[in-house]
Chains A and B, each alone.
Chain A
């Protein structure tokens, strides 16, 4: 899986609690991305990073924040989880070209 590890793989949390998902890469790629996948929606970009401490919003960023303090780690935080954030979250890394490598995903359920 191209040296990407997402943790946790599964999580159930309560509405209103903060949640942090972690993406760890061993490929030293500059670019990292967080996507969410929902039935019938394909994958939608939440946030992305183009370098350490360099991040920006994607198309569905409301309710999420990210941090990247070192090349290998990209954290996605739900400040106060809501049921609408129940989803499967994928991290991706990529060279600045066409091929992005995806992690195995984190299945998050907010109850």
Chain B
């Protein structure tokens, strides 16, 4: 079927390793940065977000780091599992004025976890 992953960056890891997925963003005015996971044939699923005034936020097995100086966002997945295999998107969101919570997505990264 049609591949949403055509020409996307890829990351291959072994089960149990830690994974780091990177994203460069462009809009310094964004209020939130968000990571989504998309499995084949499904819609994106929210993983974790971070507000622009923070530099680190942890969830269950995931950590998001934000470096506003270089406009860089990363998602760290601890003890990666085969079920983590998916396409990961970063997204930016503004919440003020007439932005109405619109999301601007990055291109995505394909994560493949080998058993």
Q: Give A residues with C-beta under 8 Å from B.
A: 1, 31, 33, 35, 37-45, 48, 50, 56, 58, 88, 90, 92, 94-105, 107
Q: State the CA gap A39–B87 with chains docked (Å).
A: 12
Could you tell me how many residues of chain B have their Cβ less than 8 Å away from some Cβ of chain A? Answer: 28
Check A43 against B89 for contact (C-beta < 8 Å): yes
**A33-B103, A48-B102, A50-B100 known; A39-B43 Cβ under 8 A:** no
Other than the known A33-B103, A39-B5, A98-B32, what 5 A-B pairs have Cβ atoms closer than 8 Å?
A: A41-B107, A50-B100, A88-B4, A92-B43, A98-B46
Check A103 against B43 for contact (C-beta < 8 Å): yes
Check B6 against A96 for contact (C-beta < 8 Å): no
**A42-B89, A43-B89, A90-B43 known; A48-B34 Cβ under 8 A:** no
Residue in contact with A107 in the complex, picked from B2, B7, B42, B49, CB distance below 8 Å: B2
Residue in contact with A39 in the complex, picked from B6, B89, B103, B104, CB distance below 8 Å: B6
CB of A66 to closest CB in B, whole Å:
14
CB of B64 to closest CB in A, whole Å:
12
Q: Top 5 nearest A-B pairs by Cβ distance?
A: A102-B43, A39-B6, A42-B105, A98-B49, A40-B7
Q: Could you list some 5 contacts between A and B, CB below 8 A? A: A1-B43, A33-B102, A43-B89, A45-B102, A94-B101
